[in-house]
């Protein structure tokens, strides 16, 4: 295992911000998406693993801090000089003499930005700049905390595609904190769900989807007509504007698809929708805790 968490607890004052009771392990090559609502403990977990906040418990890893890299949610750099010189100063190398750094700059189409000052860069360009700095470290374990936060959809999509392409053939382990589910569908092979500092679920995307959603899900618009049509069918929790129908076998799926097509219903078929999976995993977790408190 690359890193294992044992009985981890983080407190801010008298309030428990994070409490992981069962062991959680990350293996070499894992791409772990960390999701949860605001205050779930996502950023606190990253800070605890990096040793940036006091915590109780044990974090076991053969890695030294120098073998880890982190992209934090907010990053600021000097604005008195072009970012080329900021990059060279922090990375302690010259761009023209370093082929690997040149490759990263070219990969992210960042060459035209090198002469600009940091405060003159767009949001997407600032993110690219920081990502290049993080990637250049070639860390065995890299943390990305809301790497595309604040960017428009098109910029987020392009940046996510770049990240996915860069790491596709590499064995680096990534821990990616994000509230953009479509982003994690591209980047992550495992999902860690947190809620109010506790672990709701952790495992491979496919296994978690199967556990909380079934074999496949049909997602349609929440309209009176569609609600009437889906009455009596196995329904999952979903965003209010959608209806999510669960299929656990091929025969159920065949009948459901026929019903939707015959009634001219627009739908999306998914076997990996992270948002639906998250909503239902959290719902089951909260219901279980409520039942335990009653007992």
pLDDT tens track for 149-200: 878 888 888 888 888 888 888 889 999 999 899 899 999 999 999 999 999 9
Confidence of residue 293 (pLDDT cuts 50, 70, 90): low
pLDDT score recorded for residue 84: 95
pLDDT score recorded for residue 150: 78
pLDDT tens track for 59-105: 999 998 778 999 876 677 888 899 999 999 999 999 999 999 999 99
Residues 96 and 156 in one domain: yes
Q: What is the rounded distance in angstroms from the CA atom of residue 58 to the CA atom of residue 92?
A: 34
User: How many domains is the chain partitioned into structurally?
Assistant: 2
Token couple for 129 = 């700049």
pLDDT score recorded for residue 152: 84
CATH number for the domain that contains residue 73? 3.40.50.300
Q: What is the rounded distance in angstroms from the CA atom of residue 107 to the CA atom of residue 136?
A: 12
Q: Which domain holds residue 51?
A: 3-204
pLDDT score recorded for residue 288: 80
Residues 47 and 91 in one domain: yes
Instruction: Indicate the burial class of 190 (C-beta count within 10 angstroms; 0-12, 13-18, 19 or more).
Output: buried
Among 165, 162, 166, 187, smallest CA distance to 176 is for: 187
Q: Is the pLDDT of residue 295 over 70?
A: no
Residues 77 and 149 in one domain: yes
Residues 62 and 164 in one domain: yes
pLDDT tens track for 38-58: 889 998 999 999 888 999 999
pLDDT score recorded for residue 291: 61
Among 216, 222, 284, 207, smallest CA distance to 252 is for: 216
CATH number for the domain that contains residue 267? 3.30.70
pLDDT score recorded for residue 222: 97
Residues 65 and 127 in one domain: yes
Residues 233 and 195 in one domain: no
Give the mean pLDDT of 122-151: 89
pTM score: 0.90
Instruction: Indicate the burial class of 50 (C-beta count within 10 angstroms; 0-12, 13-18, 19 or more).
Output: middle
Q: Is the pLDDT of residue 246 over 90?
A: yes
Q: What is the rounded distance in angstroms from the CA atom of residue 171 to the CA atom of residue 141?
A: 10
- Domain end (from 204, 221, 236): 204
């Amino acid at each position: 295992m690359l890193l294992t968490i044992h009985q981890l607890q983080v407190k801010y004052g008298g309030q428990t911000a994070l409490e992981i009771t069962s062991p959680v392990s990350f293996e070499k090559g894992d791409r772990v998406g960390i999701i949860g609502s605001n205050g779930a403990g996502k950023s606190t977990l990253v800070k605890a693993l990096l040793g940036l906040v006091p915590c109780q418990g044990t974090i076991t890893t053969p890695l030294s801090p120098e073998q880890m890299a982190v992209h934090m949610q907010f990053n600021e750099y000097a604005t008195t000089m072009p970012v080329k010189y900021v990059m060279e100063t922090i990375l302690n190398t010259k761009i023209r003499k370093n082929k690997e750094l040149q490759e990263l700059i070219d990969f992210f189409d960042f060459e035209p930005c090198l002469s600009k000052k940091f405060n003159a860069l767009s949001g997407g360009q600032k993110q690219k700049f920081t990502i290049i700095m993080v990637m250049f470290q070639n860390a065995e374990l890299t943390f990305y905390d809301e790497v595309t936060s604040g960017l428009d959809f098109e910029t987020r999509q392009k940046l996510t595609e770049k990240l996915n392409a860069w790491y596709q053939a590499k064995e680096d382990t990534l821990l990616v904190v994000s509230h953009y589910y479509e982003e994690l569908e591209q980047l992550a092979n495992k999902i860690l769900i947190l809620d109010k500092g506790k672990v709701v679920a952790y495992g491979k995307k496919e296994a978690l989807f199967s556990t909380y959603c079934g074999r496949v899900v049909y997602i349609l618009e929440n309209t009176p007509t569609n609600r009437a049509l889906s009455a009596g069918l196995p329904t999952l929790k979903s965003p209010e504007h959608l209806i999510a129908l669960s299929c656990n076998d091929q025969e159920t799926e065949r009948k459901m698809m026929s019903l939707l097509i015959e009634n001219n219903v627009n739908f999306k078929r998914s076997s990996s929708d992270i948002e639906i999976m998250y909503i239902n995993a959290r719902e089951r977790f909260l219901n279980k805790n409520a039942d335990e408190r009653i007992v």
